[in-house]
Amino acid sequence: MTQEKKRILTGDRPTGRLHIGHYVGSLQNRVRLQDEYETFILIADIQALTTHFERPELIRDSIYEVAMDNLSVGLDPNKVTLVLQSHVPAIAELTIFYSMLVTVNALRHNPTVKTEAAQYGYDDMTYGFLGYPVSQSADITAFNADLVPVGEDQLPHMELTRKLVRRFNDMYAPVLKEPQHMLSNCSRLMGLDGNAKMGKSLGNAIYLSDTAEEVAKKVKGAVTDPNRIKATDPGNPDICVVNKYHHIFTEKEYDNICDMCKKGAIGCVACKKLLTESLNNLLDPFRERRAYYESHRDEVRDIINTGTERACVIGNETVRKVKDAMHLIV
Ligand code: TRP
């Protein structure tokens, strides 16, 4: 007998193109998991609206960009299901039902909501933004996801989801699946400018869709050991951002590179050239696949539409069970 595959749900907010920080932190993992698990990838456009409601054109364009980013890194459209959040009514319906089971204070104390509110400068936040973790619980439970691969910042949302599921199942009927999280083992990729985070708003991102020349230019501008003046000065790899990137992107040569830096046997310019090569070797196959999808946009739209239709069927079934459990029947 064939065992049914467990289901994964992950998501991205379409507020711009994805960068190599996203690749290292999550996309790479998705590619690895796509054979073993039934994978659903949510393009979370409603969640994007919670912070970018004034920029609907950006969200519209980013839906395609994010879909192409996912496809270009090697997610196979015959294996994974891409889902457009705003086109799954079940998510909106579940969000309303779940909102009765979550207090405003619990949301206000959610550490990720707090951090993001500070980041966006909200001193008074919208109802939609405050409530987005409830909507995320709806994303996850609508499709009976077993596993949710996440970074650490998403853990409060996973806790909320599990609490909600337990409350719902205890109070009404056991119809919702309690999801587990899978913590991504890779820490955040720092910016080449030395900023702790790579981000589009910080202007320090290397995009999956950047050209080889763009990558070379960005790497050239990276900060290295400030005490090194001449190429033959002994360097300190521990305080060099380029070195941290080599650790991830030039794994095989890493020890050798550290050695040479410490001895002053490789200068920063040459070291950066090596990093540019490593990054471009990684990105080249992505660029090739992306070029295909860029010239077959209809195919991208079909992939999103087919996936979303599939997701709607599953979501509607969950809503039916939820309404049943809540005695919302005539
Ligand atoms: N909150 C996630 C992020 O900011 C995106 C997301 C939306 C998500 N819905 C999800 C992630 C469901 C996992 C599961 O990256």
- Cβ atoms of 101 and 164 closer than 8 Å: yes
pTM score:
0.94
Instruction: Name all domains of the chain by residue range, CATH numbers in brackets.
Output: 7-190+297-325 (3.40.50.620), 210-289 (1.10.240.10)
CB of 10 closer than 6 angstroms to any ligand 1 atom: yes
Q: Which of 41, 45, 47 for mutating ligand 1's site (highest number of atoms within 8 Å of CB)?
A: 47
Q: Look at ligand 1, atom 11, and give the residue with the nearest C-alpha.
A: 11
Q: Distances in Å between the alpha carbon of 85 and those of 94, 203, 257?
A: 13, 27, 45
Q: Which of 10, 59, 119 for mutating ligand 1's site (highest number of atoms within 8 Å of CB)?
A: 10
DSSP class of residue 202? T
pLDDT of 251-286, one tens digit each?
A: 999 999 999 999 999 999 999 999 999 999 999 999
Percent of the chain's residues with pLDDT above 70: 98
CB of 136 closer than 6 angstroms to any ligand 1 atom: yes
> What backbone torsions phi and psi does residue 11 show, to the nearest 5 degrees?
-155, 160
Question: 224 is written with which tokens?
Answer: 């290295």
Question: 130 is written with which tokens?
Answer: 């405050």
Sign, CA dihedral 156-161-167-170, equals negative
pLDDT of 4-13, one tens digit each?
A: 899 999 999 9
| Residue 1, pLDDT above cutoff 70 | no
Average pLDDT over residues 102-110: 97
DSSP class of residue 207? B
Query: Looking at 57-66, 148-157, 197-206, 233-242, which range is the least confident one?
Result: 197-206
Write down the pLDDT at residue 203: 80
pLDDT of 222-239, one tens digit each?
A: 989 988 888 899 999 999
Average pLDDT over residues 69-73: 98
The string of DSSP codes covering 20-47 is HHHIIIIIHHHHHHTTTSEEEEEE-HHH
Taking all residues of the chain, what is their mean pLDDT, rounded to a whole number? Answer: 95
CA–CA gap between residue 43 and residue 85 (Å, rounded):
6
| Residue 116, pLDDT above cutoff 70 | yes
Query: Looking at 18-27, 190-199, 206-215, which range is the least confident one?
Result: 190-199
Percent of the chain's residues with pLDDT above 90: 88
How many helices (H) and strands (E) the chain has is answered by 15, 5
Token pair 């080249």 is found at: 284
